[in-house]
Amino acid sequence: MAQLIDIRRVEVGPKNLTARIRVAMSAPLMTSDDLEGTTRVYRLLPHIIDHVCLGDGGETFKDVMGDTEIAHLLEHVTVELLAQTDIAGDVPCGRTFTVTDELRTYDIELSCPDDVLVAGALSSAVWILQWAYSGGGDPVPDIDATVQGLVSLVQSLPEPAAPAPTVREYVVDEDEAEELRAGFDPATAPIEDDDLEGLGREALATRDGQRKRTTTARAVVRSERPVEREDAQDEQPVYQDEPAPIDGDDPFADVIPVDTVTQAGDYGEDY
């Protein structure tokens, strides 16, 4: 027999997988057209008759299995394979619809916890029906091996990649920008009391409830020991860090040098 069922297309949605299938013209359209083939399916999957089935006037698939569409049987075989994997959710389920504008064509909708798993189960169900309605024979489908193969297929797939972090951008006004800059500027960042040791005089300002170093602060560290000089008896002591007087018009004569310290220097006007 030629290919019994042709899967025309598959659509994967958020919760369901929908497959459009077409039954070959030479194949039985109803299970009652080949009861021997239908019996072969039952013997492979005896639990299929216990499926809840409310679409054909009965309560279980047992009530309709002997006279229903081959496409409907395909749906239940797929659901049974999914149930036996134990990784297809609590209650695998499906529905079958006739495509009215295409001959011998149906849409089978299946619950889809994993699209690879469901697509694999559907393909396996097509192969089982192909065997059953082609006279049976060897090799007989091994259901346990088929189910284990589906599980192994899913487990062999790599874990989905983590989503990329979301980058958010926002606009701040000038006042907010000034506060942000002040928080990162070394001259205005909060300081601890331990940082003040050894710096001499330093002006402190309070901003937003925190002590911050002002940009105009200078630390002048001088030695209290006078320089020994022969002619220093009648003169005022000169500190070693203070330069000697410069004769002439020097615009920088009054500048006192600032010793190098490990803290940040002067950054100009306060932000």
Summarize pLDDT for 2-13 with one digit per residue, the tens: 789 999 999 999
What digits encode the pLDDT tens for the residues 64-86?
999 999 999 999 999 999 999 98
pLDDT for residue 221: 40
pLDDT for residue 108: 97
pLDDT for residue 201: 44
pLDDT band at 250 (very low <50, low <70, confident <90, very high): low
Question: Tokens standing for 22?
Answer: 């077409």
pLDDT for residue 228: 53
Highest mean pLDDT among 80-94, 125-139, 147-161: 125-139
How far apart, in whole angstroms, are the C-alpha atoms of residue 121 and residue 123? 5
How far apart, in whole angstroms, are the C-alpha atoms of residue 42 and residue 222? 102
Residue pair 68/56 in contact by the 8 Å Cβ criterion = yes
In sign, the C-alpha dihedral spanning 245, 246, 249, 253 is: negative
In degrees rounded to 5, what are phi and psi of residue 111? -60, 140
How far apart, in whole angstroms, are the C-alpha atoms of residue 170 and residue 167? 10
pLDDT for residue 157: 81
pLDDT for residue 106: 97
Bond before 141 cis per omega within 30 degrees? no
Q: Among 101-105, 143-147, 153-157, 158-162, whose mean pLDDT is lowest?
A: 158-162
Helices (H) and strands (E) in the chain, counts: 5, 6
pLDDT for residue 62: 92
pLDDT band at 168 (very low <50, low <70, confident <90, very high): low
In degrees rounded to 5, what are phi and psi of residue 83? -60, -35
240 pLDDT exceeds 60?
no
234 pLDDT exceeds 70?
no
pLDDT for residue 176: 73
How far apart, in whole angstroms, are the C-alpha atoms of residue 69 and residue 99? 13
30 pLDDT exceeds 70?
yes
What is the pLDDT averaged over residues 56-67?
86
How far apart, in whole angstroms, are the C-alpha atoms of residue 20 and residue 29? 15
pLDDT for residue 69: 95
232 pLDDT exceeds 60?
no
Residue-averaged pLDDT of the chain: 76
Determine the 3-state secondary structure of 34 from DSSP: coil
